[in-house]
Amino acid sequence: MKTGIFILLLLFIGRNVQAQTNHFEIIKSMELLDQIYQHLDMYFVDDPKTGKLTKIGIDAILNELDPYTEYYHEANIEDYRLMTTGQYGGIGALIRKMGPATFIAEPYEGNPAEKAGLRAGDKIISIDGKSMLNKASDEVSSSLKGPKGTSIDIEIERNGKKQVIKVTRDEIQLPNVPYSGIIQDQIGYIKLNSFTQTAGADVKKALIDLKASGAKSIVLDLRGNGGGLLIEAIKIVNLFVPKGQTVVTTKGRIKEENRVYQTMEEPIDVQIPLTVLIDGGSASASEIVAGSIQDLDRGVIVGETSFGKGLVQRTYDLKYGSKVKLTIAKYYTPSGRCVQRLEYYDKADGSKPKEIADSLVKKFQTKNGREVIDGRGIEPDVVVDVKDFSRLTAMVYANNLIFDFATEYKNAHPTIADAKSFTLSDADYQAFKEKAIKDTFNYSTASEEILKKVMATAEKEGFYEDSKAEFDALMTKVTPSKARDLEKFAPEIKDLIENEIVSRYYYQKGRAEDSFKSDLVLQKAFEILNDKNKWHTILKK
């Protein structure tokens, strides 16, 4: 009995000492920072701009932890608001930096920019008389944002002519679901871009509408969706699984963060065949949805392995209107796995986080006994390897040739066919080729770079002269040729041109509809949903 009391006493003393040590370190650090500020204020040769230094210092501290622990200065609260609600005060348009200037890249249909007459391709000269040339895109963005009801004069250049367009700002709501509809025989499609406060309700409405329109199966597209609010992910899973089902569990250093989240409502449909599309941009809440659907064998996951973010953040209010977002827990899908790919907390100071070692990756089982693993994101049930663009295509896009061509096309063509059927004519592609060939951009191929290294090695070893003719012949074939490669990679370049042109007439909805024509991942989802035996076989139902 005395031994037990002694052990408990030691544990209490140990924890108390550790708490006191941590408390002392905090006080010590704060006192040192305070002294540094005092000395800067009294002795530094110039005005130290302590507000800016504070922001830099806080960011540096938090960057040592993980990329998701962030400080929001009062001046950046609009960014936080956009992240959590999808709302901000502004004109409703994407902008794009091109050289020294910033352009309107895509107005949102029905929002102030589009209503006022701004178009994609408009060059922003000034805002309220202040020049925007040679300004960073975030500075231009800040100038465009502001309270609902306030107006700004935006000077633009279009077709070589300058004009001023007055735009009255409004409350901009970025849609969680930019597109939903029946896109093949009785197959409903829902594109989910984010998990803000209305994501669950938006997907629910889309699902109900699709079923009312005759949908017999569903595609939920989470590609490129970087996540958001955990509770919204649970609501979306709840649409397809029964009430009372565990969706996700969180575990943190603080006992209060050890929670089990279950579905709270009656579902919409627990039987309708479902596929979920993911890729490397699907993270966090997207992985909770995909991982839960996979673990419960409720749907087939199609595409590429997801990002691998198994961490949960919570935001806390600070003084002076600022906030801090802290990583407070890891989350675990119903099978018990955590998808976190990188280890942020077990690294040497200043070193980059490393992937969790293969030896530490564990195997888990879905509801029907299928094998899944942790530590690697969500691996799809059906993998679709999406081919990377050629270097030429990447260069053509990066140098804004496609964007500029679409602007010229819109100026020359008042109307086009609907988004689903529009195609670029051979004559129009020939015109694009001629412009691209005249452009000054240069590029190399991976094959050319590798061959140059092989040739250098062969020369060092004394084999080059014997193989010079063969090397020269091969180099001729892998050396870039704009004319040749613009023809060789015409299909993928034409897809991008068509998509950009369609967006000028039909905005985000049109861009989505056009993309369906060449979407290999979506085609695979169709294939699975059109073959119910295949869908059941994959899930071992």
Burial 136-146 (b: 16+ CB within 10 A, else e): eeeebbbbbbb
Integer-rounded Cα Rg, in Å, for the chain is 28
CA angle 259, 260, 261 (to 5 degrees): 115
- Report the alpha-carbon angle 330-334-335, nearest 5: 95
Q: 494 φ, ψ to 5°? A: -60, -35
Q: State the DSSP string of 161-172.
A: EEEEEEEE-EEE
Using alpha carbons, list the distances in angstroms from residue 244 to 197, 199, 263, 479. Answer: 22, 20, 5, 61
Task: Kindly give the residue spans of alpha helices, DSSP state H, lying in 299-350.
Answer: none
Q: How far apart are CA 141 and CA 98, in angstroms?
A: 14
CB 144 within 8 Å of CB 90? yes
Structure-block tokens of residue 75: 């001046």
| Tokens describing residue 384 | 């679709």
Contacts 24+ apart (CB under 8 A), 206-212: 206/177, 206/180, 207/239, 207/268, 207/269, 208/268, 209/180, 210/180, 210/181, 210/182, 211/268, 211/269, 211/272
Which are the catalytic amino acids?
284, 295, 309
Amino acid occupying residue 214:
G
